[in-house]
Structure 1
Amino acid sequence: MKHLSVLNKYFWKYRYRFGFGILFIVLSNYFAILAPQITGYIFNMIQEYVEGNSSTLRTSNYDPLVDVFIGELNARNLSFAQRLGFFGGAILVFALLSGFFLFLMRQTIIVMSRHIEFDQKNEVFAHYLTLDANFYKTHSTGDLMSRIAEDVSRVRMYTGPAIMYLVNLVFRISFCLFYMLKKDVILTLYVLSPLPILAVTIYIVNNIINKKSENIQAKLADLTTNAQESYSGIRVIKSFVQEKAMFRFFNLNSEDYKRNAISLAKVESIYFPTMTLLIGLSTLLTIMIGGLYAAKDPSGEYVSTIVEFVMYINLLTFPVSAIGWTASMIQRGAASQKRLNEFLQTEPVIKDPVQPTQTLVEGDIHFDIAGIKIGFEICEDAWVSGRPGSDLALKGIDIILNPSASHFAFGKYDIRKDFVLEGSRAFGVA
């Protein structure tokens, strides 16, 4: 998770979108949590109507907004059907408000993640432009493409959906727990008893997901590199009739990537059956324990408590089920951001001066090169000379290097020691 801390600058940059997104999450969950309370009150109202009891029902342990709404309806001289219609309309209005703020939540947080993705790609590309030829000789094009495409995309899944579902999960559970504990503490403890099993499962599976995600990203980089090199060297491959050999090599890499991806999918598949089991167990505990309490309740109002708790559990179904998916996105995002951090922390060996000066060279050119290194040492004690209008070649070694010596003169490759340029004037380059 420490690798994701570098993204805090983007959250601060888009803090208004992020802040409004969290506000919309709170409002969406708040209006969603009111429906179970009104439904529970409706059950009590129907029960008293069937029994012929016209006494005013208690509205304790409800949200203040629900209390005000129920009080206003009870103060009016309305028939049972009219009251039932108003309560049904209130449930519909609360559902529409919850859905509206859910839409705004996605329009703020998901759009924010797209802006962050755009900024990250610009940052990576800008860093590409600062690196020297040594870096590009020692890093494959496929790996660089994978970092700016796949890795940034996986990080976006963290800055968007993962953050959104994580915050939604926190507030949804907080609201549900608050009203469940307010309604019945003992029943709440019974219903939430499966949660420790969930916590242990998440801890174990997350560690496995993190390791497998890093392995998959490395395999994908190898696969991309293999494809890119095959395309760029297609003439050489055809010249030596190596099409089948390259196909077998690519097929082996693809199978290796597939095995790792399937292995990760198997681990992730543990989440959803576990979530379904725990949600079903919580529902059964609610009905069983609540039914025992309702049998001992002479007023019969405990039936509404069972109804509310079942609806609370249903509200928790998706957020709790999304824990595994959210954890997987966070772990994958952390693995991808680690790869990006390693790349972004790479400094160019040859740095351009802040204020470069232009020097006009006239006459013959002579290079006395003490050593050249491109990831590995390729020559020592070489010298190059040339007249105006002629090509340059390295002397003092067994082969002539291509590209020409001008690449070294203009700082394209790293020269370990100073060399001297002789012409109209002499100077050294490190």
Structure 2
Amino acid sequence: MKPLWRLNKYLVKYKGYLLLGILFTIISNVFVIIPAQLVRIAIDYVVDSFSLYQGFAEADLAGIARSGFLRIVVIFGVLILGMALLRGFFLFLIRQTIIIMSRLIEYDMKNELFEHYQKLPLSFYRRTSTGDLMARISEDVGLVRMYLGPAIMYGINLLVLFPMVIGYMLTVNVELTIYSLLPLPILSVSIYYVNNMINERSEKIQKSLSSLSTFVQEAFSGIRVLKAFVREEDSAKEFAKSSVDYKEKSIRLTKVEALFFPLILALIGLSTILTVYIGGRQVIAGEIGYGVIAEFILYVNILTWPVTSLGWVTSIIQRAAASQTRINEFLDEKNHIVSTENLQTEIQGAIEMREVDFVYPDSGIRALDKVSFKINAGQSMAIIGTTGSGKSTLANLLMRMYDTTGGEILLDGVDIKKYDLAFLRKNIGFVPQDVFLFSDTIANNIAFGMDETSMDIVEKAAKDADVYDNIVEFPQGFQTRLGERGITLSGGQKQRVSIARAIAKEPKILLLDDCLSAVDTKTENAILNALKVIMVDRTSIIISHRVSSAKLADKIIVLDDGRIVEHGTHEQLLAKKGVYAELYEKQTQSAEAIEE
């Protein structure tokens, strides 16, 4: 139960529903006990009246006795029916309180978990699969809700009903009560030993389900690759393998759970036999009436479902505990990327890196080694380098997706860690290398970073990114809905919409991370010409492996294996005839060869 203690804050929040549920449970159980008492009284009355009826010799007296007897039996029947209806009404109220409480808590839990996901750093997502994230916010939360709803509801019913029924049974006949309840300790011991098995197998099931979800998510995301390489059949076989593992673990758990119900029903049957045997002996001895036996059999049957549900409730609690343990693992993840002072002063855009080192925490790869440079506000810089040179790492550090492992980054002379994180990122227009567009309209994708959507700004941003003409050619224009990850658009169009999205928020700093890699030379030149206007009086950083993208920049640095090997203007670097000049020559020759 320890992992489930975290849910107490929700139970406190919705204590009104819980307390009402307990009250309705107590009242409903009162209407369970009273009918059994009425049955005892009615049976004793019938037996006594039948003996009395046989004593009347005269027909008139017999008729009067019969009429009165039937009237009282009907009254008993109406009372028992009324009690059943009242119990049904309060059972309805129990579900309207406790089950609704569980749904409200489920809603809060999903929101809390999703909000926590949003706060976690990029490093968390690099080491955690999407399928695992989805399983914990859906399957695991669903199992926890079963504990908060049905398990608590039946558990409270058990805790209320047992003392009430057993307490009353003891006041009627102690010996008969002891014998009728004798099998219950055996049941308790059985549940104790099976609990650990249920818990262990529940945890294995949840882990298997997480792996299965990850596989499915990857298969659907990479469906184009699967079809292109004709691997659908292999993918289906792999899914079948994972499914078999999940199936086998589920069956193992089901076999353990299946032990409960036959065991419980057998023990309840034993209770009934003992009640009839001991009660029958007492009736013969003249110690009790026939009605007491009927009353106790009803009590045993009343306790049947609560006792039967005990195994099911135990299973729910164990599975919920396993799921809550997995949820707690994520909730215990901390975001170490936080602001030290929550500074929100106006940003001008001067950037300075001082002896910046960075080692990726997961892989241990050193991406940057003593990198230092300075950009004045309104200036532009190009960062050129081959794949793996550390270009994108610089972009991630400027956005504080990661923090440096050494050195410092200054923005307007202030340590970047002092700025409020959301405020910092709002002032940077970031175009990532890996374009991601949402399944929404093109207009909403471009306006994604804006506080309020303005179609004038959206259209201007589209024109600046040289994608306006493509958009207006669609039948629905800017209201065209994109498929998953922007699949409706071509690679170049997606890239330009991504650029428009960054421009639309009118940032102080523009950060382009190899964003022209998917466009042809003509489109690249068109975008670069448009960017000339955009970059005026705005600090701009163009990260690319293509030297053609560096022409706009006031200064250029060349990275190789995480270090700055050259820096200067385009002309200065060509004159040096170093790494930059070599890259420029190779790429120029390649472009000429393609044109020919």
State the TM-score, normalized to the length of structure 2.
0.64
Specify the alignment match of 1:13 in structure 2.
13
Q: Alpha-carbon deviation of 1:365?
A: 6.3
1:392 to 383, 386, 407: 383
Distance verdict in 2 for CA 1:233–1:369, change over 3 Å: farther
Cα distance change, pair 426–289 in 1 and its aligned pair in 2 (3 A): closer
C-alpha deviation, 1:427, in angstroms? 4.7
1:318 equivalent in alignment to 2:309? no
Q: Partners in 2 of 1:186 and 1:342 — Cα distance?
A: 51
Residues 25-51 of structure 1, C-alpha deviations (whole Å, 9 max, x = no match) = 000001111111111111111111111
Q: CA deviation at 1:353?
A: 4.5
Aligned partner (choices 304, 311, 320) of residue 333 of structure 1: 320
Query: Residues 382 and 260 from structure 1, CA distance in 2 versus in 1: closer, same or farther, beyond 3 angstroms?
Result: farther
CA contact (8 A) 1:369 1:418 kept: yes
Mapped partners of 1:54, 1:4: distance in 2: 64
Higher RCO structure (Cα 8 Å, ≥6 apart): 1
* Structure-1 residue corresponding to 2:509: none
1:13-92 to 2 correspondence within 5 Å?
A: 13-52=13-52, 79-92=68-81
For 1:326, what is the secondary structure of its paired residue? helix
Q: Which amino acid aligns with 1:43?
A: I
Instruction: Calculate percent identity across the aligned residue pairs.
Output: 42
Aligned to 2:285: 296
State the secondary structure of the residue aligned to 1:348. Answer: coil
State the alpha-carbon separation in 1 of the partners of residues 194 and 5 from structure 2: 23
1-structure distance, mates of 2:371, 2:336: 22
Match of 2:472 in 1: none
Residue 335 and residue 209 in structure 1: after superposition, are their counterparts in 2 closer, same or farther (change >3 A)? same
- Find the partner of 2:349 among 343, 351, 361: 361
Distance 1:425 1:193, change over 3 A: closer
Map of 2:464 onto structure 1 = none
Count, aligned residues: 402
What residue ranges of structure 1 are gaps of 5+ in the alignment? 56-77
Contact 1:383 1:394 survives alignment (8 Å): no
Check whether the contact 1:154–1:336 (CA below 8 A) recurs between aligned residues: yes
What's the TM-score once normalised by structure 1's chain length? 0.87
Secondary structure of 2:360's aligned partner: strand
Unaligned runs of 5+ in 2: 56-66, 419-596
- Deviation of residue 174 (structure 1)? 1.4
Judged with a 3 Å threshold, the aligned counterparts in structure 2 of structure 1 residues 389 and 35 are, in CA distance, closer, same or farther, namely same
Give the structure 1 partner of residue 154 of structure 2: 165
Q: Take 2:391 and 2:123, find their aligned partners in 1: how far apart are those partners?
A: 15
**Counterpart residue type for residue 120 of structure 2:** L
Aligned AA (2:166): L
Deviation string for 1:172-214 (max 9, x for gaps)? 1112101211111111111111112101110011110011111
What is the CA-CA distance between 1:385 and the residue it aligns to?
6.0
* Structure 1 CA distance for aligned equivalents of residues 359 and 225 of structure 2: 28
Alignment of 1:1-400 (within 5 A): 1-52=1-52, 79-297=68-286, 301-353=288-340, 355-357=342-344, 358-362=346-350, 368-379=355-366, 380-381=368-369, 383=371, 388-389=379-380, 391-393=382-384, 399-400=388-389
Contact 1:113 1:160 in 2 (8 A): yes
Conserved in 2, the CA contact under 8 Å of 1:392 and 1:404? Answer: no
- What is the distance in 2 between the residues matched to 1:19 and 1:424? 57
Change (3 A) 1:293 1:402: farther
Separation in 1 of the partners of 2:391 and 2:31?
Answer: 70
Q: Which amino acid aligns with 2:129?
A: S
1:367–1:384 Cα contact (<8 Å) kept: yes
Change in CA separation of 1:241 and 1:377 when aligned onto 2, cut-off 3 Å: farther
Check whether the contact 1:361–1:425 (CA below 8 A) recurs between aligned residues: no
